[in-house]
Amino acid sequence: MNIFDPLVLARLQFAFTVSFHIIFPAFSIGLASYLAVLNGLYLLTKKPVFMDLFNYWKKIFAVAFGMGVVSGIVMSYQFGTNWSVFSDKVGPVLGPLMGYEVLSAFFLEAGFLGVMLFGRERVGPKLHFFATLMVAFGTFFSAFWILSVNSWMQTPAGYAINANGQFIATDWWAVVFNPSFPYRLVHMVLAAYLTTAFVVGAVGALHLLRDRSNQAARIMFSMAMWMAAIVAPIQIVAGDFHGLNTLEHQPAKVMAMEGHYDSHPDGAPLILFGIPNPAEKRIDYAIQIPKLSSLILKHDLNAPLAGLDTIPFDRQPPVAIVFWSFRIMIAIGFAMLGLGIWSLWLRFSGRLYDTPLMHRAAILLGPSGFVAVLAGWITTEVGRQPYTVYGLLTTAESVSPIAAAAVGASLVAFLVVYFALFGAGTFYILRLMNKAPQPHEPGLDPDEPIRAGGIMPAPAMDAAGARQAAE
Amino acid sequence: MTLDLPFIWAGLIAFAVLAYVILDGFDLGVGILFPFVKGERNRDEMMNSVAPVWDGNETWLVLGGGGLFAVFPLAYAIIMPALYAPIIIMLLGLIFRGVAFEFRWKTRRGQFLWDWAFAGGSIIAAFAQGVALGALVQGIPVANRAYAGGWWDWLTPFSVLTGIALVIGYTLLGSTWLIWRTENHVQRRAYDIAAWAAPATLILIGIVSAWTPFLNVIYQQRWFGWPQILLVIPVPLLVMLTSYIIIKGLIERREASPFLASLFLFVLCFVGLGISFYPHIVPNSVTIWDAAAPDNSLLFLLVGASVLLPIIIAYTVYSYWVFRGKVGAKSAYH
């Protein structure tokens, strides 16, 4: 791989900008739902601690959402600047789906975010709860369209190709609900929930270590551990279904994930660990369980499984990256499950809030969801190579005709700017998390202006209210 | 009767871009003015005047870019590589100023850093937008459905001029916005700045307008050919009338009319661009019908857009309406 190849640089740039971007939505999708749950629990129980928690996480949500907005603007131009041929060819099919994403995100930003962040006193608790629900729904809707776009690139359906070589839609329903979309949507939304749950759990654990009587910390830790215990196993099952779907539509990706260079006519082993050796086309030092891979993928110990030797070399994904990223994701998934089971055991023996070792483990796993999300996306995106539209359009054909120097210079600029600015943003988020949640937790500082949330009706109403009061 | 969907969408995209230019124009202008107004309290007041709306304003840029990809993918695929450097520089500038809104209030020690990020990012983004516009106007070579020029083609004396013109133009929008929305020290500074930004903008518009017809014979025909000169002549006449209103408003210390007239000046310039371009979307080579996706793609998105866009616009107008009035340094919403 030549680092001065414009194709490699363009891929690195897209990988970098989209990886940075996905961190914020993955967190805000989950956090939006968590805020809706907290708001609902407060309305139901009238316990002030739920409103304290709502105000605590709302401040963190505002910063994360703002960073998602600015890194998202970049994404809507990456396709054109670096992948112009791809844009021309897939625009008629994927453009409208992206258009719906932009419209729904716009609608959300313009509409309900401001009410959620600032408007509780103005619009009353019921409408405020409704706004919070709409924000949660809006982030989900954004994810819906973006995942539909990505899934279509993995498993294209409902299309034809016109005289200009462009993909055109013949059946919108088939385009949107393409074969891998339902699996990817479920897997990603669950991943966002788990990611948020582990961040919430880690923050709860941190404040329990400092003061195990902190009521708000106890509640957030307990809620997060319920999520770990319930959602982690569901996610593992959902991931398994997603894998079976991938085997059906993109077998080469599964071969790379499994490290199966060779075909196994009578039962393939499950390789737990090993070091891929691309030159010799084998896994060195493999620790493997015979026939288990066939059992998992085909539900039959002796089912034959084809290997990468059945795929022409120039149509194979890079094995090492996919092999490792897949194992990192799986390892984190099972670590999450382990923490969930541990929490159940402690909960039923009454020691959930009194086991510092467990709290330390929860802090350690706090950022694990982000790592798992990135590892999962690397698995599915690198595993799709050498195609952008699977089986139909190669990555090499998709790239803009741009000189390496231009792509390289912009990549360096993105690297420097993202690490500096989003590093600062992450620092501010961590500082907010480092403060313990208090009874009567304040909302956003009323002396600060409103920043991240689009067009705010709340200040507008405040201004109008103040004017009426003055008259 | 069949709908001319590419024409409808060209109108919608043009509207999104215009909405972006005039809306983000004044809040970028406020950023450009940051170094010219001293005192953190005054800067708080300036930032508060645009804080509730800047993100909504910038979303029109995403709508313009995303919309272009969705409905005119060929134009998107040609224009983006041609304007590669200015687009990337603009995005980086927008990131700097965007996070400054959030981070400036999270630190006291580092506040000056975010002041600079806000001002620098605004100036860079405005200049890059102007350069991109100039590069588009001067023409983009196209071959085989792709950009066929070099990587520095965007950098010419003309595009540098349009870059400077847009920075000055946004300065006019920003200063007249502040005249309208602030009081006391900030407002007085804004009058001082508008007093030179207004004539400078008008002179630059004059130079760019005089230069443009010499870039391309088609532009000349659009503006000076007979009989369409009768159709386009109201544009320069209206520019003169608007200029008069701006200058008169500034001299008479009016508060709203300089800003509203400046906005209208931008609308007129945009209409002028439209006259030069139409029916091309990439000047002189690709028409809106060449670049358009098939009708079923345009229709699919139009269904959603025709429901959501009116709601968004109504909501935006409503927000600006109830949020009218003066902004204090700390009175953004209490």
CA distance A386 to A399: 12
Residue B176: inside a domain: yes
Tell me which amino acid residue A240 is. Answer: D
DSSP state of A471: -
Are A286 and A260 spatial neighbours (Cβ–Cβ below 8 Å)?
A: no
Please give the residue that has the higher pLDDT: either A185 or A111.
Answer: A185
pLDDT of residue A450: 47
Cβ neighbours for B218, distance < 8 A, ≥ 6 positions apart:
B283, B284
Tell me how far apart the alpha carbons of residues B240 and B206 are, in angstroms, rounded to a whole number.
10
Hey, what are A168's tokens? 């055109």
Angle between helices B73-82 and B54-71 (to 10 degrees): 120
Decide the pairing of beta strands B146-147 and A387-389.
unpaired
Q: How many CA atoms lie within 13 A of A430 on its CB side?
A: 9
The pLDDT score that the predictor gives to residue B328 is 61
Residue A340 has pLDDT above 90, yes or no: yes
Across the interface, do B61 and A73 touch by the CB < 8 Å criterion?
yes
pLDDT at A5 (0 to 100): 83
- Contact between A198 and A224 under an 8 Å Cβ cutoff? The reply is yes
Residue B6 lies in a domain: no
- Shortest CA distance from B96: residue in chain A: A421
Region of poorest pLDDT, from A107-111, A165-169, A372-376, B17-21: A107-111
Walking along chain B (334 residues) 10 residues at a time, the average pLDDT comes out as 82 89 90 87 81 76 84 88 89 86 76 87 94 88 82 88 93 92 85 90 90 82 78 85 90 88 90 84 84 87 88 77 63 38
Q: d(Cα A370, Cα A192) in Å, to the nearest integer?
A: 9
Best B5, B20, B62 residue to mutate vs chain A (most A CBs within 10 Å): B62
Amino acid at B125: A
Q: Does B99 touch chain A (CB under 8 A)?
A: yes
For A188-225, letters b (16+ CB in 10 Å) and e give bbbbbbbbbbbbbbbbbbbbbeeeeebebbbbbbbbbb
Mean per-residue pLDDT for A62-78? 81
Determine contact: B103 vs chain A, CB below 8 A.
yes
pLDDT, residue A290, reads 82
The answer for residues whose C-beta is within 8 angstroms of residue A226's C-beta and 6 or more apart is: none
| pLDDT attached to residue B174 | 93
At B2, list the tokens: 């069949």
Across B215-246, b (16+ Cβ under 10 Å) vs e yields bbebbeebbeeeeeeeebeebeebbeebbebb
CA separation for the pair B78, B147 (Å, rounded)? 5
Test B333 with A458 for CB contact under 8 angstroms.
Answer: yes
Whether B116 is covered by a domain: the verdict is yes
In this predicted structure, what is the pLDDT of residue A470? 40
Q: What is the pLDDT of residue B169?
A: 93
Q: What's the pLDDT at A122?
A: 66
B2 and chain A: CB distance < 8 Å anywhere?
no
A454 — pLDDT class (breaks 50, 70, 90):
very low
Binning pLDDT at 50, 70 and 90, where does residue A250 land?
A: confident
Strand A282-289 versus strand A270-277 pairing type: antiparallel
Mean pLDDT, residues A155-184: 90
pLDDT at residue A375, rounded to an integer = 94
Over 60: is that where the pLDDT of A446 sits? no
Number of A to B CB contacts under 8 A, please give it: 272
Residue position matching structure tokens 């408007």: A119
Nearest-CA distance A2 → chain B (Å): 21
Provide the chain B residues 149-208 that lie in CB contact (below 8 A) with chain A.
151
pLDDT the model gives residue A364: 93
Residues in chain B: 334
Asked if B77's CB is within 8 angstroms of A87's CB, the reply is yes
Q: What does the pLDDT average to over A406-410?
A: 84
Highest mean pLDDT among A240-254, A453-467, B46-60: A240-254
Q: Percent of chain A at pLDDT above 70?
A: 91
Rounded to 5°, angle at Cα A330 from A324 and A333 = 145
Residue B147 contacts A, CB cutoff 8 Å: yes
Alpha carbons A265 and B260: distance in angstroms, whole number:
76
Say yes or no to pLDDT of A456 above 50. no
Residues A454, A116: Cα–Cα separation, whole Å: 12
User: What's the per-residue H, E or C state across B74-136?
Assistant: HHHHHHHHHCHHHHHHHHHHHHHHHHHHHHCCCCCCCHHHHHHHHHHHHHHHHHHHHHHHHHH
Candidates B65, B77, B300; nearest CB to A172 = B300
Q: Which of B66, B107, B330 sits opposite A102 (nearest CB)?
A: B66
CA distance B162 to chain A (A): 21
B45 touches chain A (CB under 8 A): no
Would you state the pLDDT for residue B230?
Answer: 78
Sequential DSSP letters for A53-109: HHHHHHHHHHHHHHHHHHHHHHHHHHHHHH-HHHHHHHHHHHHHHHHHHHHHHHHHH
Number of compact structural domains in chain B: 1
Nearest to B69 among A70, A80, A421 (CB): A80
Task: Say if B182 falls within a structural domain.
Answer: yes
Give the helix/strand (H/E) hosting A269.
none
Q: Which helix (H) or strand (E) holds B211?
A: helix B184-215
Cα distance between residue B22 and residue A320, in whole Å: 50
Q: Is residue B165 included in any domain, yes or no?
A: yes
How far is it, in rounded angstroms, from Cα B279 to Cα B267? Answer: 19
* Tens-digit pLDDT profile for residues A22-52: 888 889 889 988 988 998 899 888 888 998 8
Judged by CB atoms closer than 8 Å, whether chains meet at B77 and A85 is answered as: yes
Range of the domain at B166: 25-293
In a domain, B91, yes or no: yes
ipTM over 0.90: no
A462 has a pLDDT exceeding 60: no
Is it the case that residue A282 has pLDDT exceeding 90? no
Question: For residue B120, what pLDDT is reported?
Answer: 92
Note whether B328 contacts A: Cβ–Cβ < 8 A: no
Q: Are A205 and A362 in contact (CB under 8 A)?
A: yes
Give the residue-averaged pLDDT of A224-246: 91
Q: What is the pLDDT of residues A256-269, one digit of tens each?
A: 888 888 888 888 88
